[in-house]
Amino acid sequence: MDEQPTTYRVGDALITRVTEQQFQLKTDKLFADFDPAVIQEHHAWLADGQVDAAADNFVLNVNTWVLRVGGKVILVDTASGNHKDRPFSALFHQLNTPYLERLERAGVKPEEVDFVLLTHLHVDHAGWNTQLENGRWVPTFPNARYVFPRVEREFFDTPAGESRRMVFDDSVLPVIDAGLADEVGPEGGDYLPGIRFHPTPGHSAGHMSIEIESAGAHALFSGDVWHHPIQVYRPAWSSVFCADKHRATVSRRWVLERAIETDATVFTPHFAGTSAGVVSALAQREGGFVWRFL
């Protein structure tokens, strides 16, 4: 996990992964529709780091993507964060990872970040928005604009004491109170030239995928329309984490089709391996999609 970061070029944009953590989840727990025969069908590429040795568990990452374009430093999603109370999951509770050191190894210091783009406001995507200083949660990236879907903020900004405020209170509200937050309306659209938010709801209420266009080339930051590359081959499979499985399936298919339409390089928050790849379509008579890691 502390390997030398790989940087991808998309047009004039440079994109580098920073991985906070990697973990495993039971195959039949992650997907309610899981079929063991699919593992056998795709075993050749799944065995290359996408399942454990016994093929009982899928392997998942928690990633941030560093984007350098137009002289700006941009982060897409901020992983889970350190020292945060997450009693609902041992995967995220009271972490103490060297995330900021890994970010610096990728060439980024917190004060150098210009924008933080958030696909949604779940625990493993918004956590490093803030860090603990003298008992207070303060913005980790003090000079950045934090940009996220308005519907997400409205969903989590509930009355005090409700459980879904937990992540909001320590990871979102401090950046709002600091005057650093910008919201994207439910229709999505351009935030900056060449940076567009696309509504892809289903996983969460206001989930959006983020598209970058640079020098005629496209990068697509998928967010959690999927959690594992097996969903490219089984797009009807929604994970246990999806709030609305039907809408999540529609959004997943949209991302697959958009990636093909724009010949995009796709950057994912949870795929293991390189976490980046391209999508192609099978022959029309077969239907379906194919994923290739870069």
**C-alpha 258 chain-centroid distance:** 17
* pLDDT tens per residue, range 114-136: 999 999 999 999 999 999 999 99
- Domain-located, residue 2: no
Number of structural domains, the chain?
Answer: 1
- Which pLDDT score is estimated for 246? 97
DSSP letter, residue 271: B
- Residue range of the domain that includes 124: 7-293
pLDDT of 5 strictly over 80:
no
- Which pLDDT score is estimated for 160? 74
Label residue 36 exposed, middle or buried (CB < 10 Å: 0-12, 13-18, 19+): exposed
* pLDDT tens per residue, range 47-67: 999 999 999 999 999 999 999
> pLDDT-based confidence at 2, cuts 50/70/90?
low
- Domain-located, residue 127: yes
- Which pLDDT score is estimated for 163? 77
pLDDT above 70 as % of the chain: 97
- Domain-located, residue 207: yes
- Domain-located, residue 274: yes
- Domain-located, residue 154: yes
- Domain-located, residue 12: yes
* pLDDT tens per residue, range 69-101: 999 999 999 999 999 999 999 999 999 999 999
Mean pLDDT of the chain: 95
- Which pLDDT score is estimated for 207? 98
> pLDDT-based confidence at 286, cuts 50/70/90?
low
- Domain-located, residue 31: yes
Q: CA geometry: angle at 161 spanning 159 and 166, to 5°?
A: 95
- Which pLDDT score is estimated for 192? 95
- Which pLDDT score is estimated for 63? 98
pLDDT of 285 strictly over 60:
no
- Which pLDDT score is estimated for 284? 53
* pLDDT tens per residue, range 159-197: 876 778 999 999 999 999 999 999 999 999 999 999 999
Rounded to the nearest 10°, the torsion over CA 167, 149, 228, 13 is: -120
pLDDT of 158 strictly over 90:
no
Rg of the Cα atoms in the chain: 18
- Residue from 110, 104, 190 nearest 147 by CA: 190
- Domain-located, residue 1: no
- Whether residue 38 contacts residue 234, with contact meaning beta carbons closer than 8 Å, is answered with yes
DSSP letter, residue 288: -
**What CATH number should be reported for the domain holding residue 265?**
3.60.15.10
pLDDT of 3 strictly over 80:
no
